Amino acid sequence: MIVRSLRFKMTTIGKCSSIYRTSPEFDLPEPSSGKLGFQKLPACNSRDKLFGLSSTEVKTSFVAPLRAIEASRKAHVNGKAENVHRTGCDSNDDMPINDCHGDSIPQMSTIGNSTNIVWHKCTVEKCDREELLQQRGCVIWITGLSGSGKSTLACALGRGLHARGKLTYILDGDNVRHGLNRDLSFRAEDRAENIRRIGEVAKLFADAGVICIASLISPYRKERDACRALLAEGDFIEVFMDVPLHVCEARDPKGLYKLARAGKIKGFTGIDDPYEPPLNSEIVLHQNRGLFDSPNDLADTVISYLDEEGYLKA
């Protein structure tokens, strides 16, 4: 396997310094001819009855715009977001629908600082998108020290899944700090906010049916677990890059450990800022007999997990 050498340019974006746009690329086979496409959609839940359509009608008329039924979810006051945000085709059963065309007044919620808000529900749901994509939307959350190989794995994984005709999107901590999170520094509260925002965005991607690969240090267990709690059971797959600090420091591809040791970067993870390793990751990747598997092999481990758990089919 050939690893292309990359030149990194240090930048300061908003409050963050020393971050890089990461795009490590490995020479991998070109994606196979497997193409994404449209197909007849089987009726996937009891919603058919709800909208007064038979399964056949749903199948044949799905491409025509269905009248969207805006609905709001049960009022959950004071930030009980997990109940409000629950998605999935089987979530209709316990959810009252406020049809905006009817007489009922939608129930209002207060979520954090947002008052009088309503959850709008659409007839095209996560499972419909998954059917279209022939995969299950989920979040693969890669955590580990700087230099542990998160971005490299994310990229290898993205390529490997793409080659299998699966739709992925990478949310790399470095990259997201170039835009959405440019206002965040590396102080503890800003890191927590960085993790929270990426968790929320990842959740949207998963809801879109995409296999979302989040790769960020995410040093705090509590914040990682909070992101896990945003998703349905099983849809958050934590991958721990269990690479010892001395290995990451020896790699030091951006020279940041050197700067941190010299006291030129304060609060560097693993040096003078904490990293809390996960306790119950779905996947732990570590060295075998002092050697780390190649990024492609590591990616294959994750892909096998996804395959076995049924994420690579609808």
Ligand X SMILES: Nc1ncnc2c1ncn2[C@@H]1O[C@H](COP(=O)(O)OP(=O)(O)O)[C@@H](O)[C@H]1O
Ligand Y SMILES: Nc1ncnc2c1ncn2[C@@H]1O[C@H](COP(=O)(O)OS(=O)(=O)O)[C@@H](OP(=O)(O)O)[C@H]1O
Tokens of 89: 């085709």
| Residue 148 lies near ligand X (rule: CB under 6 A) | yes
User: Is the Cβ of residue 126 or residue 228 nearer to ligand Y in the bound state?
Assistant: 228
Instruction: State the DSSP string of 252-288.
Output: -TTSHHHHHHTTSSSS-BTTTB-----SS-SEEEE-B
161 neighbors 168 (Cβ within 8 angstroms): yes
- The residues in 4-63 that bind ligand X, with binding defined as CB under 6 A, are 24
Among 88, 292, 300, 301, binds ligand X (CB under 6 A): 292
| Residue 151 lies near ligand X (rule: CB under 6 A) | yes
Supply the minimum distance, in Å, between the C-beta of residue 206 and ligand Y: 19
Instruction: State the DSSP string of 162-211.
Output: HHTT--EEEEEHHHHTTTTTTT--SSHHHHHHHHHHHHHHHHHHHHTT-E
- The residues in 202-261 that bind ligand Y, with binding defined as CB under 6 A, are 216-219, 254, 256
User: Is the Cβ of residue 3 or residue 77 nearer to ligand X in the bound state?
Assistant: 3
Site string for ligand X, 175-214 (x = CB under 6 A): ----------------------------------------
108 neighbors 75 (Cβ within 8 angstroms): yes
Q: Looking at 4-68, which runs of residues are DSSP E strands?
A: 11-13, 16-19
53 binding partner (options ligand Y, ligand X, none; Cβ < 5 to 8 Å by kind)? none
Supply the minimum distance, in Å, between the C-beta of residue 22 and ligand X: 6
Among 218, 281, 294, 304, the active-site one is 218
Containing 141, the helix (H) or strand (E) segment is strand 138-143
In Å, how far are 104, 133, 187 from 66, measured between CA atoms?
Answer: 21, 20, 47
| Residue 146 lies near ligand Y (rule: CB under 6 A) | yes
Region near ligand X per CB under 6 A, out of 30-38, 57-65, 122-130, 290-298: 290-298
- The residues in 182-211 that bind ligand Y, with binding defined as CB under 6 A, are 186, 191, 194-195
> At 49, is the secondary structure helix, strand, or coil?
helix
Q: Which residue's Cβ has the minimum distance to ligand X? A: 149
Is 218 in the active site? Answer: yes
| Residue 295 lies near ligand X (rule: CB under 6 A) | yes
CA distance linking residue 59 with residue 278, whole number of Å: 44
Site residues for ligand X per CB under 6 A: 3, 24, 144, 146-152, 251, 253, 292, 294-295, 298
Q: Which residues are catalytic?
A: 218
